[in-house]
Amino acid sequence: MDYELTYAEKLGNYRELLDVFDKLQDYKTWLVSHINTLQSPDLSKTKVMTGGRKPISSQEMYAIRLEVINNTLAEHKAAIDKETRWVLEQANRLKPSAKLLILYYYIYRMSWSEIADILFPDSIDALRSVFTLRKQALDTLENYDNNGAYIPTNEQLSLLEQEQRDLDLYR
């Protein structure tokens, strides 16, 4: 039986994907700044060697790295677009306050304390309320099946019942 990620794991992976994308963009910015500096042309007699034993300048090396980073960024951008649509679909299944929480944290990448200040401005236990709302939102999302239909809690199968049903299907 294949392991299926929970909604919390999928949303966490989405947030990590965004962080990796940001780090790649920062690295690209750093590379571009080094290509355009006075230090970048290789004026020394020693050249940087590649695996093919052809001497290339440090400026060419930066250009090669930049091309690789641009390709990686394009791949990540496509994955982010796909995952963003998925997160928005999931958020639309929730009550308005839970939907805002999911959008603020995962799409707008706000911190939990910023979200607490927005959703519960006068509450003493605002952060606790945010985490409670997050748990309720994730529990609600877990109650949906793969086709998007909501499964009432009393009709859900326990893990043992699911395994038994799966075994019965293969007999």
pLDDT for 40: 46
- Average pLDDT of the chain is 79
Cα–Cα dist 77/20, whole Å: 11
Who has greater pLDDT, 29 or 164?
29
Q: Are the C-beta atoms of residues 19 and 13 closer than 8 Å to each other?
A: no
List of residues 6+ apart from 63 with CB closer than 8 A? 35
Whole-model pTM: value is 0.67
At 37-55, the pLDDT tens digits run 655 455 455 555 555 566 6
Query: Tell me, what amino acid is at 116?
Result: A
